Amino acid sequence: MPRLIKSLCLASLFLANAGASGAQGAVHAPGHTQEPKRPNFVFIMTDDQDLHLNSLDYMPKLKRVIADEGTVFRRHFCTIAVCCPSRVSLMTGKLAHNTNVTDVVPPYGGYPKFVAEGHNDNYLPVWLQNAGYNTYCTGKFLNSHSTSNYNNPYPKGWNGTDFLLDPSTYSYWNSTFQSNRAAPVVSGGYSTDLISNYARGFIQEAHGSDRPFFIGIAPIAPHAKTAAVEGSSIPAFTNPAPAERHANKFPDAKVPRGENFNPDKPSGASWVLNLPRLNSTEVTYMDEYYRRRLQSLVVGKLEDYGLLDNTYIFYTSDNGYHVGQHRMVPGKGCPYEEDINVPMMVRGPRVPKGRTMDVVTSHTDIAATLFDLAGVPLREDFDGLPMPLTSSEMQDAKHDPRREHVSVEYWGTNIQEGDIGRTSATGAAVIYGNNTYKAMRVIGDSSNLFYSVWCTNEHELYDLKNDPYQMRNLFKSSESKLLGRDIKQVISRLDALLLVLKSCKSSECTLPWEVLHPDKRVTSLSEALNPKYDAFYAAQPDISFSACELGYFPESEGPQEGYAYRRNGDWSNWA
Ligand SMILES: *[C@@H]1O[C@H](CO)[C@@H](O)[C@H](O)[C@H]1NC(C)=O
Ligand SMILES: *[C@@H]1O[C@H](CO)[C@@H](O)[C@H](O)[C@H]1NC(C)=O
Ligand SMILES: *[C@@H]1O[C@H](CO)[C@@H](O)[C@H](O)[C@H]1NC(C)=O
Ligand SMILES: *[C@@H]1O[C@H](CO)[C@@H](O)[C@H](O)[C@H]1NC(C)=O
Ligand SMILES: *[C@@H]1O[C@H](CO)[C@@H](O)[C@H](O)[C@H]1NC(C)=O
């Protein structure tokens, strides 16, 4: 089945210059007679790739091979904007408050916490193998998966692995890779190129089997390069490193100068609100850093490709990224749009070509989506739903159309990446505290809102319809109307919705209004805004924190339960 190999090579080809010589001429779908084999999956996940800083514009091959041949989801979000917790959410189908892997390092996160919470026995590749799939993975698995713990235990569920290991995961060259049960080895060469080679090896291996396959490909580009700092547990973060052949691309590229780029007036909440303005040296650095990110994303030549009729290819990033927005140096981990709204594109059988979808989806939906495509019944404990990949799926109940919210959460600190200005005397990255928050996006027919409550009890409310850069916090503004109602009424609904989402489990996370309105008469923000519910929403407890914790401690996260509206117009506790 050389066709399979050729076709899938396209996935790795645009990750690096893999010397696209072999694939000659597209091969077309054969006659459709037999029962189709279950689909294969190629899942490509980059590291820290933004949607809002236009990095995709610099990947024309990606556009040609996936976006133009498939569907782009413009409103796809991660539900926690940092690598390891986001990947664990994606691979378990659960929000971080239900995985309790909330950080990149122990005690609250990283590979050891993933194992300690039992996820290594119970996550996507294990489930897919049980469903008859061969599973492969190359690149970065989880943070704190290292040369000292890679075999204690080995990640379960994979038929083949080539993992990048800490501490050199982000060194770009001379990184340490570890294959299956073999000992780690330092591999010369550019890590993205190596990952692309490994991916092609897995495709070669997978095509020989009768079983369908899943291949996860996780290059580190365009993440910051890191280096250990002597005497510090915190590394130094420097510019991402492009392959030499791409080092001089895009000499004129600059960070887009949106309204929130290094603004005159401070914006945001908590530590963000206190940041000084970036000076001219720092702004110049932001542009240089931005170019390095782009260069490390540049992809090799893709001359030709076959079209695989039974494979879905997903392309996304674990979380987004900011460079200079709200005066922040490069980094992630904030609830703002640059960090949470991430690239997502899918091509595959039945997926419309060259389309964009505005349905609200998130990483927590991905496990459910793969299950759905593979014909495996959804797990009860999924916090997400299958993404509607086609227009007709937008209308059906399985891919519930009542999608207007995404919940976003975070615990702990925020690392300042990049090596200018805000580094400590030793060169280690500076870390800000008080980066614990609950937030959500609500995007309905008439609304496009962001709402957050930080552990400092600061609140933010942005109307992205009129304020796409999140510069005017309506929570403390003198504006009085929003969505045709008194703004206080809108806030009371948002508060109640966030109260449900901040500790929801399974279907409560996908249908939160049903927790508040068990009679199902309210299924959206606009319905909840009906004045007849004003007193009900006014009675709900307010969201608050009693401390800024570094991990998930519900006892510090204020009220956990509110009221449900009953048929007689009265209300009582949830449940
Ligand atoms: C992949 O692993 C599963 C589970 O161990 C096994 O049943 C299957 O045969 C393996 N596939 C191949 C090609 O070795
Ligand atoms: C990779 O390692 C080799 C051999 O130790 C060394 O010569 C080379 O400079 C290293 N490359 C980088 C980019 O660090
Ligand atoms: C900008 O600030 C950095 C310290 O963060 C300093 O090293 C640099 O000299 C400043 N540049 C200008 C033009 O003031
Ligand atoms: C966190 O916020 C509290 C309350 O606003 C403040 O007193 C404290 O200094 C902040 N801590 C850090 C580490 O920023
Ligand atoms: C989450 O993990 C931390 C660290 O192990 C633990 O202290 C905390 O109790 C856990 N939270 C929940 C809700 O289980």
pLDDT tens sequence across 202-231: 887 887 788 999 999 888 877 777 778 777
- For ligand 1, is residue 129 a contact (CB within 6 Å)? yes
29 pLDDT tier (thresholds 50, 70, 90): very low
- pLDDT at residue 33 above 50? no
- 548 Cα: distance to centroid of ligand 4 (angstroms): 8
Q: Which of 78, 83, 137, 455 is catalytic?
A: 83
Q: Looking at 280-348, which runs of residues are DSSP E strands? A: 311-317, 344-347
Report the pLDDT value the prediction gives residue 569, as an integer from 0 to 100: 87
Average pLDDT for the chain? 87
Ligand minimally distant from the alpha carbon of residue 213: 1
Q: Is the pTM of this model over 0.95?
A: no
Report the pLDDT value the prediction gives residue 15, as an integer from 0 to 100: 44
Angle at 126 between CA 120 and CA 128, to 5 degrees: 150
- For ligand 4, is residue 433 a contact (CB within 6 Å)? yes
Which ligand 4 atom is the nearest neighbour of the CA of 548? Answer: 1
From 124, 127, 159, 213, mutation site for ligand 1 pocket: most ligand atoms within 8 A of C-beta: 159
Q: Would you kindly state where each structural domain of the chain is located, as residue ranges?
A: 4-27+41-401, 405-573
Report the pLDDT value the prediction gives residue 37, as an integer from 0 to 100: 76
Which ligand 3 atom is the nearest neighbour of the CA of 420? Answer: 5
- 284 Cα: distance to centroid of ligand 3 (angstroms): 11
Q: What's the rounded mean pLDDT across residues 447-464? A: 98
- Better-predicted residue by pLDDT, 565 or 393: 565
Q: Which are the contacts of 435, defined by CB distance < 8 A and separation ≥ 6?
A: 270, 271, 333, 334, 410, 411, 412, 413, 414
Give me the helices (H) in 33-190, please.
60-62, 83-92, 96-99, 110-116, 124-130
Which ligand 3 atom is the nearest neighbour of the CA of 282? Answer: 1
- For ligand 2, is residue 174 a contact (CB within 6 Å)? yes
- 273 Cα: distance to centroid of ligand 3 (angstroms): 20
Cis-peptide, bond into residue 184, ω within 30° of zero: no
Report the pLDDT value the prediction gives residue 448, as an integer from 0 to 100: 98
Q: Looking at 102-224, which runs of residues are DSSP E strands? A: 134-140, 160-165, 173-179, 185-190, 213-218
- pLDDT at residue 490 above 90? yes
504 is catalytic: no
376 pLDDT tier (thresholds 50, 70, 90): very high
- For ligand 2, is residue 173 a contact (CB within 6 Å)? yes
Q: What's the rounded mean pLDDT across residues 182-195? A: 88
Which ligand 3 atom is the nearest neighbour of the CA of 422? Answer: 5
Q: Where is average pLDDT lowest: 81-85, 233-237, 317-321?
A: 233-237
- For ligand 4, is residue 457 a contact (CB within 6 Å)? no
From 84, 411, 505, 553, mutation site for ligand 5 pocket: most ligand atoms within 8 A of C-beta: 553
- Better-predicted residue by pLDDT, 281 or 512: 512
* Superfamily holding 4-27+41-401: Alkaline Phosphatase, subunit A (3.40.720.10)
